[in-house]
Amino acid sequence: MHRVNNMGKKPLISFIIPAHNASQTVGRTVNSIISQCDDSKKIEIIIVENTSTDNTNEICEKFARENDNVSFYHSEKGVSNARNKGIAVAEGEWLFFIDADDYLLPNSIAHLLTDAQKMDDDLIIYNYQSGNSRIYLTDNNVSFNKDNILAIKEKMLKNPTKFMTVWGKLFRKSTVVKNDIKFNPELVLSEDSDFIIQACEFIKNASIRSDFIYHYSINKDSTVHQVDGKKILNYTKALEVSEKTILRQEPELSKAYNSYILMHLNLIMVHEIFAIQNKQGWFKRIELLKSLISLPIFTRALKTVRIQECRTGRMIPILLIKLKLYNLTGLLYRVRIHQNNAKAS
């Protein structure tokens, strides 16, 4: 651990950066924060390295030595352990998670500090940029309180690829710590989403802001883009763990969670079963599809969703599955994969 703190009063925002073999990018990440902050006392940057084999350690130690508001720690292997360590040592009123290959967009710190000072929310969500594409979560600032907080929770669950990441958001630290909300180290995939689902149980006020704060770097080498034969098991485990949390919350969220499950069914199909890197034959892929939808968690979700609810583009594959048009389903997923690759290139 390397911590130098001459800031006096506690910072407003704690930026938590998990770093694993991030020597090529972590400097850009840290500099995107430092370069925007006129008053270093208002923020702290916590870098948590976990079992790197490159020179990530040396780079992060240098940042900690040269900047009073940067601290450097180590954790056990895994991004969840790194983020949990960051939460444990954070001194700010707010937590902001940022991955070591991403960065803040220009003028982000000013928006974040303004909101952190004036907002009384438990969670503040921002628009962001994914690669070269701007992701609009809202065109105007929207607030949610006890009268309509359920609406944002349902929206997040129904749109997991847009909303259910921990980065690009401000979490009130007291809400996280008081309710013992932590990342589950046993989850390999969807640990972000599970954290947010835990938080939803205790979020009373939330906002979506129209500012663009965060740049997400599309990494084709990331776990989600690798065909390793483990996604079915890892996604299913995460869905079952999070379902237990959902069942403790408002009944309306159980229906939204069915949509969440089906969106993960799409993810498994795109990133594993019908992925271009998967060299299995077509018949084997169709058999895997049938095997997957026979698992209880997917069977329940498929039975619950009505055909009338399958009219949107992302639900068309679900409609085809319900109609047992499995070959056509597979062809549609292959089209989606080629479309995604074209966007990323």
In order of their start, the domains of the chain are: 2-216 (3.90.550.10), 224-344 (no CATH)
The whole-model pTM stands at 0.93
Distance in angstroms (rounded) separating the CA atoms of residues 285 and 10: 54
Please report, in angstroms and rounded to a whole number, the separation of the first and last CA atoms in the chain. 39
Distance in angstroms (rounded) separating the CA atoms of residues 7 and 215: 28
One digit per residue, pLDDT tens: the chain, 345 residues?
Answer: 554 444 457 899 999 999 999 999 999 999 999 999 877 789 999 999 999 999 999 999 999 999 999 999 999 999 999 999 999 999 999 999 999 999 999 999 999 999 999 999 999 999 999 999 999 999 999 999 999 999 999 999 999 999 999 999 999 999 999 999 999 999 999 999 999 999 999 999 999 999 999 999 987 555 555 677 788 999 999 999 999 999 999 999 999 999 999 999 999 999 999 999 899 999 999 999 999 999 999 999 999 999 999 989 999 999 999 999 999 999 999 999 988 777 766
Distance in angstroms (rounded) separating the CA atoms of residues 92 and 81: 19
Give me the pLDDT at residue 14, please: 98
By the 8 A CB rule, do 228 and 268 touch? no
By the 8 A CB rule, do 78 and 45 touch? no
Give me the pLDDT at residue 57, please: 94
Token look-up 């399958």 returns 310
